[in-house]
């Protein structure tokens, strides 16, 4: 396969502020993206009836056999080169009492199996040999505490009118990151965008404890929007700008309520991460799920694979390095940026393979983030 070589500028200095201005980036490639602004007559939150939310289905486009692709990949199949760039996350600046009575709908479906498990060893490893640990996020209610509070469900409408659902995470004061496939079908230009985006942070079993957040703008990479809608894709990620809303009588941005994760480029391979999402094969997609593991190998173009038993519904969910809160006495290693998204879920292998993959953030992500930050003062 033709390999793209991307050179990135030197790593930015560590930031002490909660939020930084947009970063600058250089690349041998022209950076491209496609954006969609919300129209005045858009339905927004009113579109999402309990029935539509309940009937939203995960995308199946990411369900493929990753084993063949991993076997074919060259050792340096993670194509981006250069030095990593990063942006720190932010704690929530405004304490909101979670509202567990804010029920959107009554869930009704049982978990959906991804396939046969007859060839799987009695531990968390599939036939590909990628080790991982898998668990629902617990105890119940921890979803509303940072950094879990940044992760949630993304509802949207496909171009054919069907309601759909992915996973996503807050990465700045108004920005939510997800997979490109959760924003655009991968062909059709402007008409390929999905619509009616609605983000529910800390979602659990039909309840929105940290409110529901309407969208204002979506932007996706040119690699995804022109890529034909298939995975793996070199840049299957996108950003959604959310609208502000009144919280206890004060207008707030989502990142002030949930906090925001940071992000870092060129860091999905090699690494050890927490992967989050709402896979419909586990707890019916009604409870936040987490998988931890070490990167397993490269997949062309510009992807990395991890062991995982999550399936569709977790698409767009973040791969987070150095997740959690520091202990007293902690000493930083060589890759210290905490709670940083280094990729998002793009492709899944069903049993017995058990693997998950995502595009490696590179200069295309920096360009996308800069574009989204610049759209409105206070986005970042």
Between β-strands 57-58 and 163-170, what pairing exists: parallel, antiparallel or unpaired? parallel
Q: How does pLDDT run across 5-35, given as a tens digit for each residue? A: 333 323 332 333 333 333 333 333 435 899 9
Residue % of the chain over a pLDDT of 90: 69
Q: Where are the alpha helices (DSSP H) in the chain?
A: 50-55, 66-72, 222-225, 254-258, 363-374
Q: Using CA atoms, how far apart are residues 319 and 184, in angstroms rounded to an integer?
A: 20
Q: Is residue 7 part of a domain?
A: no
pLDDT score for 129: 78
Q: Using CA atoms, how far apart are residues 18 and 38, in angstroms rounded to an integer?
A: 28
Other residues' Cβ atoms within 10 Å of the Cβ of residue 238: 30
Q: Where are the alpha helices (DSSP H) in 193-315?
A: 222-225, 254-258
**Lowest mean pLDDT, pick from 68-82, 139-153, 178-192, 340-354:** 68-82
**Lowest mean pLDDT, pick from 28-37, 51-60, 117-126:** 117-126
Whether residue 366 is predicted with pLDDT greater than 90 in this model: the reply is yes
Q: Is residue 13 part of a domain?
A: no
Q: Whose CA is closest to 211, among 107, 46, 372, 101?
A: 101
Q: Is residue 19 part of a domain?
A: no
> Which residues touch 1 (CB under 8 Å, ≥6 apart)?
300, 301
Instruction: Please report, for residues 101, 273, 317, 325, 327, the alpha-carbon distance to residue 13 in angstroms, rounded to integers and kept in the order given.
Output: 43, 23, 27, 21, 23
pLDDT score for 72: 57
Provide the domain count of the chain: 1
Q: How does pLDDT run across 136-168, given as a tens digit for each residue? A: 999 999 999 999 999 999 999 999 999 999 999
Q: Where are the beta strands (DSSP E) in 97-188?
A: 133-136, 151-157, 163-170, 175-178
pLDDT score for 44: 79
Q: Using CA atoms, how far apart are residues 258 and 260, in angstroms rounded to an integer?
A: 7
- The domain of 224 spans 33-114+121-325+334-374
Q: Is residue 55 part of a domain?
A: yes
Question: Are residues 229 and 180 in contact, defined by beta-carbon separation less than 8 angstroms?
Answer: no
Q: Whose CA is closest to 171, among 295, 23, 38?
A: 23
pLDDT score for 266: 98
Q: Using CA atoms, how far apart are residues 2 and 40, in angstroms rounded to an integer?
A: 43
pLDDT score for 284: 95
Question: Are residues 143 and 202 in contact, defined by beta-carbon separation less than 8 angstroms?
Answer: yes
pLDDT score for 109: 57
Whether residue 100 is predicted with pLDDT greater than 70 in this model: the reply is yes
Q: Is residue 181 part of a domain?
A: yes
Residue % of the chain over a pLDDT of 70: 82
Q: Is residue 171 part of a domain?
A: yes
Q: Is residue 305 part of a domain?
A: yes
> Which residues touch 20 (CB under 8 Å, ≥6 apart)?
12, 87, 88, 380
Whether residue 77 is predicted with pLDDT greater than 60 in this model: the reply is no
Place of tokens 């062991």: 307
**Lowest mean pLDDT, pick from 81-95, 255-269, 283-297, 302-316:** 81-95
Write the CATH number for 235: 2.40.10.120
Q: Is residue 362 part of a domain?
A: yes
């Amino acid at each position: 396969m033709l390999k793209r070589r991307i050179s990135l500028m030197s790593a930015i200095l560590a930031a002490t502020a909660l939020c930084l201005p947009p970063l600058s980036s250089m690349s041998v490639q022209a950076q491209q993206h496609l954006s969609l602004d919300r129209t005045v007559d858009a339905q927004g939150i009113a579109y999402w009836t309990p029935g539509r939310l309940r009937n939203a289905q995960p995308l199946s486009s990411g369900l493929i056999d990753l084993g063949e692709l991993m076997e074919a990949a060259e050792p340096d199949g993670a194509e981006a080169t250069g030095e990593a760039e990063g942006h720190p996350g932010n704690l929530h600046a405004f304490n909101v009492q979670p509202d567990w009575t804010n029920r959107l709908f009554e869930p009704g479906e049982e978990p959906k199996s991804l396939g046969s498990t007859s060839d799987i060893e009695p531990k968390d490893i599939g036939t590909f040999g990628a080790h991982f640990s898998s668990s629902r996020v617990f105890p119940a209610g921890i979803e509303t505490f940072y950094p879990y509070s940044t992760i949630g469900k993304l509802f949207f409408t496909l171009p054919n009118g069907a309601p759909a659902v992915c996973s996503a995470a807050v990465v700045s004061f108004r920005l939510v990151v997800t997979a490109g496939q959760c924003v655009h079908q991968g062909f059709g230009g402007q008409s390929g965008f999905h619509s009616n985006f609605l983000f529910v942070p800390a979602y659990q079993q039909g309840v929105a404890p940290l409110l529901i957040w309407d969208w204002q703008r979506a932007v996706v990479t040119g690699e995804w929007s022109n890529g034909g809608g298939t995975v793996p894709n070199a840049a299957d990620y996108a950003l959604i700008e959310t609208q502000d809303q009144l919280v206890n009588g004060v207008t707030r941005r989502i990142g002030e309520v949930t906090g925001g994760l940071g992000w870092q480029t060129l860091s999905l391979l090699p690494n050890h991460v927490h992967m989050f999402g709402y896979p419909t094969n586990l707890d019916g997609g009604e409870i936040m799920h987490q998988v931890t593991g070490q990167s397993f190998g490269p997949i062309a173009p510009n992807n990395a694979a991890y062991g995982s038993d999550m399936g569709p519904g977790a698409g767009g969910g973040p791969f987070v390095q150095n997740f959690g809160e520091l202990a007293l006495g902690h000493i930083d290693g060589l890759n210290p940026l905490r709670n940083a998204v280094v990729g998002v879920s793009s492709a899944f292998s069903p049993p017995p393979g058990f693997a998950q993959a995502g595009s490696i953030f590179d200069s295309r992500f920096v360009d996308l983030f800069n574009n989204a930050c610049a759209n409105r003062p206070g986005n970042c």
